[in-house]
Amino acid sequence: MPFNQTDTTAYRQDVRNKGEVMSTDDRRHLLERYLPDSSQSQRSQRSSTTSPRRRSGRRKRLRPFLKHKLHLLIYLTIQTIFGIYIRIRQIASALFLKFIAIRHYHHRTPAYIQKDLKNLSRLPEHLSVIVTYDDSNDDSLETLLDEVAELSAWSAAAGVPTRT
Encode pLDDT of 61-79 as tens digits: 888 899 999 999 999 999 9
Contact in structure between 143 and 149 (CB atoms under 8 Å)? no
CA gap 112, 106 in Å, rounded: 5
Query: What's the pLDDT at 69?
Result: 96
Contact in structure between 14 and 21 (CB atoms under 8 Å)? yes
CA gap 68, 72 in Å, rounded: 6
Which candidate, 9, 12, 7, 3, places its Cα nearest to that of 34? 3
Stretches in the chain below the pLDDT threshold 70: 1, 39-60, 106-108, 162-164
Q: Would you give the end-to-end CA distance of the chain in angstroms? A: 108
Residues 6 or more apart in contact with residue 108 via CB below 8 angstroms: 149, 150, 153, 154, 157
Query: What's the pLDDT at 42?
Result: 61
Contact in structure between 131 and 148 (CB atoms under 8 Å)? yes
Query: What's the pLDDT at 84?
Result: 98
Domain ranges of the chain: 1-35, 51-105, 107-164
DSSP-derived secondary structure letter, 4: P
**Strand (E) or helix (H) holding 146:** helix 140-158
Query: What's the pLDDT at 49?
Result: 55
Sign for the pseudo-dihedral over CA of 18, 20, 24, 28: negative
Contact in structure between 125 and 159 (CB atoms under 8 Å)? no
pTM: 0.37
Contact in structure between 131 and 144 (CB atoms under 8 Å)? yes
**Average pLDDT in the chain:** 80
